[in-house]
Structure 1
Amino acid sequence: MRARQAAIVVALGLLLGALPAATHAQAKTIEVAVGDGLVEAVAAAMPGDVLHLAPGTHKGSVVIEKPLTIEGDSFETTAIEGTGQGSVIRILSSSVTVRGLHISGSGIDKTGIDAGIYVEKGADNPVIEHNWLDRNLFGITLHGPKAARVIGNTVTNRNDLWLNNRGNGIHAWNNIGSTIADNVVTGGRDGIFMQLGKDNVIAGNRFERLRFAVHYMYSKGGAVTDNVSIGDHIGYALMYSDNLKVSGNVSIKDRDQGLMLNSARKGRITDNYVYGSGGKCLFMYLALRNRVTGNRFEDCDIGVHVTGSDENAISDNAFIGNRVQMRYAGTKTYEWSVKGHGNYWSDNTAFDLDGDGIADTAYRPNNVVDWLVWRYPLSKLLLSSPAMELLRVAQGQFPALTPGGVVDSYPLMAPEVPPRVLPPLPEKLEWEVGSADPDS
């Protein structure tokens, strides 16, 4: 009797275990014509089905509560148009794929994070690829899923709203292990906003006409690599985040800052190129224990602005042709070299008599006159006065008068970081000619 009961239990287990496989085996591709009703097709589909949308415009908004693929042949031919309320596609299930679609027409409720595509927490492993997200408040919202893949999308968000009322191109909150790569984001507030994330990768994206290209907040691990920011307010704003790898990124003529490390800790900041910022190439504010090496900061108003940033290892960078190489006003002295290797400063006129590639004297980017001007701005009125000239002469004769700040004891005689080939740029960017946007 017991043997028979055991056999029944085993048989039931085998049957139940086979059910998912049977369900998957029944999955099919369903052709959805324009006018057939996309919402109804989604409701009628079985888990695992592929809904292939015919060219033309299909009506949203759509809620997906089962594993499905919704795709078109190309976003140039196949569209989903929202109702102007809420999100156009809302994903509540894991393992959903959306590809090859032109998605537009979300609502404009910031509290609801209205988006072209909204992925809810628990809807893990979504794949969003090769879509055009257009005229939405937020382009793509990842509200807590794990292992999302957002690849090769174009996001053109609304710029007809005030800046603070716009949504982000890709808005990610509480994500783990996601990959956001090879997307183009133009317009809106921030290109990619990452908050409370862990071990996410942002790679190979391009950003234009934004507030921040990449905005990291309260996140850990992960990488920001090989992205391009052109003409944004700030290129890469890395704030209150730890252990980030930031490498191979380019900032071209971003208005205020190319690269910001605001309370960022233990990061590896390598091989980035910042060119032509109207403000600062690099801004370090309370940045702690970062490794900053092999970067090129060129043709900015200020090469680097440092405030309260301790225990950073900074070497092998190139500061070239900046109007002011460094701005620092304080009493503490920081050494910017590592193991006998410093940085290249284009305004350093020192000699290298032994030919080892290291200048014979230390480089101090700031003098006592700089310190006075930054601490007491009205002293600019006295820059050409005999008193200021006397200070310069006195500091040259008595180095002990030098204020606190950065000292590079082993400055390089030549840059070791080559320039990048810049993409074609307009003669003047929006921020250079002015903007009608009151928040810009």
Structure 2
Amino acid sequence: MLKMAHVFARFMMLCTLVFSHPLIAATWTINSSSELAAKLLTANAGDTLTLLPAHYLGQFEINKALTLTGHEGAIIDAQGSGCAIKIAANNVTIDGLIIQNWGADLYERNAGILIDENTANIAIKHNQLHGDGFGIRADHSQALTISHNHISGNSQLHILDRGDGIYLNRVEQALIEFNHIKQVRDGVYIESSKGSLVTNNRFYQQQYGIHYMYSENDEAYGNYSQDVSGGFAIMSSKSVYLHHNWAQNATEYGVLLNITNGARIEYNVLHNIHNPQGDATLGNEGRAIFIYGALDNEIHGNEFARSDIGIAMAMGGEKNRIYGNNFIDNLIQVKYVGDELLQWSQQGRGNYWSGYMGWDHGQDGIGDQRYQPNDSMDKLFWRYPEAKFLMNSPIVSLLRWVESQLAVLSATGIYDDFPLMQPITVENVSNPLFDDVVHHQPNTDLIAKSEFADE
């Protein structure tokens, strides 16, 4: 009995030594679809699969910790259905592939790369993806890095029938940086997630550049949206820090705050937000920023310029701090039809208004006379747009002049008691070219700096 116990103890010691010793990772070179499918089953965790230039047809699943990389010209083609690559393991990297022609069924989560539930430490970098459904989709995952990818959708589909470029649902600690995304539904869609950092991405020809829903403690900076319906949409979310971004040539808005609390909107440039089919009677003009039922947000240091409306506010959006912004040459600087009297300044400093005609006798950079962006006639026409044919009539001009001379303080509306005489400098916003990079340390400790940021 003692001998058997001794043998068993030695056997257990040997097993411990064998299984605790790290296996040496191998690199495998692949050159056919069948070989790739087979090697995904037989490779050991930690191995690297390198694809030679070829077409790899079908749908492939990674269910262990692997690196899948490719030489130039390595193309994974899903042949019009399902997902090109499904990741169902932790510690997976996909690098340098062309991925195309996956399925279009959004309800079935068809994607170029589908990151399955309960996965972590996934890196998707330097890939080119083109297809109908989601470019990259992740559900219930954490610690994702999606970096330096080019993602494009199908411009022939209706914009709402396309997949999002990057779709995150219940994902924590995602880093999304240096991606170029076009012709999708939303560039980056983040739902019910926490702690994402979205930086230095470029968005073109889509619905929204970044779209947050039920998200919290997120940060986005250095992103650029052009030729989109909306630049950056924050809906039913809290504590989002949106700063140093650029949006131009959007039709609906540059930034949307919809039932959002505790956001900081700082040092963003929002230009040329114009809806060619905009109609005041329908309320669908282009708005540099639209605040709808959003509370306790800080809007500071931004530039709202050359848009149909600088700021539009409705449905309980009054309780926000708005100061130190530039309002430059918007057709309507502010559109607010509400029941409160709001002061847009803080600690003796207001905003810069390109239409302000006051004086600065104290030479302190602050206008001596309060600024009222809209008078009573403006609010009358907003409430009764069918009377807009009277806007340029002599009697309306006379009433506007009388009101300005009497400096009547109405019971509702927007006032700035400390209008700035000169526009502010919007700090550290890069020229919106794809190769430009905005360098900021993340404002919070939500996520570590990516190892790919300087590539």
For 2:405 and 2:426, how far apart are their aligned partners in 1?
Answer: 36
State how 1:4-83 maps to structure 2 within 5 Å: 12=12, 15-16=15-16, 19=19, 21-22=20-21, 24-74=22-72, 77-83=73-79
| Structure-1 residue corresponding to 2:241 | 245
The residue number in structure 1 matching 2:384 is 376
Match of 1:433 in 2: none
Match of 2:337 among 329, 352, 359: 329
What is the deviation of 1:418? 4.6
User: Structure 1 residues 294 and 150 mapped into 2: Cα distance closer, same or farther (>3 Å)?
Assistant: same
Which residue number corresponds to residue 232 of structure 1? 228
Aligned partners of 1:335, 1:296: CA distance in 2, in Å? Answer: 19
Unaligned runs of 5+ in 1: 426-440
Partner of 2:447: none
* CA deviation after TM superposition for structure 1 residue 403, in Å: 5.2
Q: 1:222 to 1:9 in 2, by over 3 A?
A: farther
Shift of residue 397, structure 1, vs aligned partner: 4.5
C-alpha deviation, 1:160, in angstroms = 1.6
1:299 aligned onto 2:309? no
* Structure 1 residues 6 and 305: CA distance shift in structure 2, 3 A: farther
Query: Matched residue of 2:143: which SS?
Result: coil
CA distance, structure 2, for counterparts of residue 9 and residue 259 of structure 1: 67
In the other structure, the counterpart of 1:407 is: 415
Structure 2 unaligned blocks of 5 or more: 275-285, 435-455
Matched, 1:170 2:178: no
- TM-score when scaled to structure 2? 0.87
User: TM-score if structure 1 supplies the norm length?
Assistant: 0.90
Deviation at residue 298 of structure 1 after TM alignment: 1.1
Q: Does 1:351 align with 2:381?
A: no
- In 2, distance between residues paired with 1:400 and 1:354? 24
Distance change (3 Å), C-alpha of 1:25 and 1:205: same
How far residue 9 of structure 1 moved from its aligned partner, in angstroms, is: 7.5
**Aligned 8 A contact 1:368 1:401 in 2:** no
Q: Check if 1:290 corresponds to 2:286.
A: no
Deviations 1:13-68 (Å, cap 9, x if unpaired)?
A: 8954862x53x423211111135531112111111111011112112300111111
The CA distance in 2 between the partners of 1:230 and 1:63, in whole Å, is 35
Mapped pair 1:254 → 2:250: yes
User: Are positions 1:312 and 2:351 aligned together?
Assistant: no
**Contact 1:367/1:403 (8 A) holds in 2:** no
Q: What secondary structure sits across from 1:87 in the alignment?
A: coil
CA distance in structure 1 between the aligned counterparts of 2:359 and 2:6, rounded to whole angstroms: 89
Checking the alignment, whether the CA contact within 8 Å between 1:71 and 1:100 is kept in structure 2 is: yes
- CA deviation map 1:381-432 (0-9, x unaligned): 222335423432442354446351211111100011259675579xxxxxxx
The Cα RMSD (Å) is: 2.4
Give identity over the alignment, percent.
Answer: 32
C-alpha spacing 1:35/1:178, structure 2 compared with 1 (3 Å): closer
Residues 8 and 335 (structure 1 numbering): CA distance in 2 closer, same or farther, change over 3 Å?
Answer: farther
SS in 2 for 1:125: strand
Q: Deviations over 1:152-177 (max 9, x none)?
A: 10001112212221110101101101
Code of the aligned partner of 1:220: E
Q: More relative contact order in 1 or in 2 (CA 8 Å, sep 6+)? A: 2
Look up the match of 2:97: 101
1:385 maps onto 2:393 in alignment: yes
**Residues 243 and 421 of structure 1: CA distance in aligned 2, closer, same or farther (over 3 Å):** closer
* Correspondence for 2:198: 202
Q: Is the 8 A contact 2:304 2:310 kept in 1?
A: yes
Q: Deviations over 1:239-278 (max 9, x none)?
A: 1110011011000111211111111111111111011110
